[in-house]
Amino acid sequence: MSMTTITNGKEGSRMTNDRQMKTMDNLNKIVASIYDQLNEGDIPSMAIPLRSKKNIEFDTRHNVWKYGDMKTNRNCKTVKGATMMLRTLHMVDFIDQMIKTEKSSTLREMYYVSETWGELAKFGSQDESNILAEDLEIVSSLMREDFKLRPEEDGARVIGDITVTAVNRKGVKQTLNCRDDVPDTGYGIPFNVEKDKVAIRPGTAKFIVAVETGGMFDRLVENGFDEKYNALLVHLKGQPARSTRRFIKRLNEELKLPVTVFTDGDPWSFRIFASIAYGAIKTAHISDYLATPTSQFIGITASDILNYKLPTDKLSEQDIAALKSELTDPRFKDQFWVSEIEAMLGMKKKAEQQALAKYGLDFVTDQYLPEKLTEMGIL
């Protein structure tokens, strides 16, 4: 592969976006550093923050996960190191071509594209390509969305009275209201929701309810919860995608909409809330972009299971281990969480948010959510 750097050639003449220019510049620096080391007769190396639990720090000032100061030095002294460096150059070249031609790729497609890089450079697994994409994010101080890399899954849905303006695939700006123009399906959040791609204007929505499951999201929509209470409903689709978390953060910061998170009552759902509020270990290098520390939890708790006498399932051994782990997780250090987690461990029971249907299909929208939102001072 030729040691080419990213340029503003004929193919890239349409690229005037500041973030694209920053992406090109930062990736150029990575390639230039490797080239300079080779030119000086040195063994190329690249310093990357150590991506392990011992290098994860919880920033109490901003309430997000971040990488610490420990670094690992990737170099070409070993076959494995040289292979990763070669793949890095191939990936930068691939990103360069996508930016120039205004194309994008899924992470899965990039994995298969590597088949053309030769036996030494091609990825052995999807995990290898994903990790390298994350490495590039870290060393370039950018996000994979800037690299035109997108996840395989489609985006989450949003229903409520806000207006978005986005550029379609033909480069034409389109404006729609997330309730009136897409009343049934909602607005599908794209993989890149930065300001240059998606503009947001306020409507009557006063707060956000981020909902874990599709069934409960549809229940709130069918019952007209968004209209009755001026709510903006966001379907998380389980563990939320990065674009969903970023979109929620933008809504909170730019429109000043309080964020509430409505999930099942189990350890994995608690972690969904934590990823929205404080960030996740896997994406600690971009927590400032994704986390919304003021988020509040309105999902099912151990107290709800008792107070509402909800139908339950027995905790599995994995559930119990996860709950015990959360007791040492700084994201759950608040006394509310400690009490609820200990209570769940004591009863050895968990419950789904749709268990509220025990009291009828309107109970969640007429009583459960209004009561909790009132207690929080949102309604």
- Give how far Cα 4 sits from Cα of 63, 93, 95, 334, Å: 41, 7, 12, 51
Residue partners of 169: CB distance under 8 A and separation at least 6: none
Could you give the CA distance from residue 252 to residue 258 in angstroms, rounded to a whole number? Answer: 6
Three-class DSSP category at 26: helix
Q: Tell me the two tokens of residue 269.
A: 């759902």
Smallest CA-to-CA distance from 240 within 307, 310, 193, 180 is with: 193
In 3D, which of 251, 213, 219 has the Cα closest to residue 235? 213
Report the C-alpha gap between 366 and 222 in whole angstroms.
13
Question: What residues have CB less than 8 Å from 257, skipping those under 6 apart?
Answer: 205, 206, 207, 208, 232, 251
- CA of residue 34 relative to chain centroid, distance: 31
* Catalytic residue status for 112: yes
- Considering 35, 67, 111, 112, which one is annotated as catalytic? 112
Q: Provide the H-helix boundaries in the chain.
A: 18-39, 79-101, 107-113, 126-140, 214-222, 225-228, 242-254, 267-277, 287-290, 302-307, 317-326, 335-347, 363, 369-375
Q: Which of 93, 66, 128, 36 is nearest to 285 (CA)?
A: 66
Say how far apart CA 149 and CA 144 lie, in whole Å: 5
Could you list the active site residues? 112
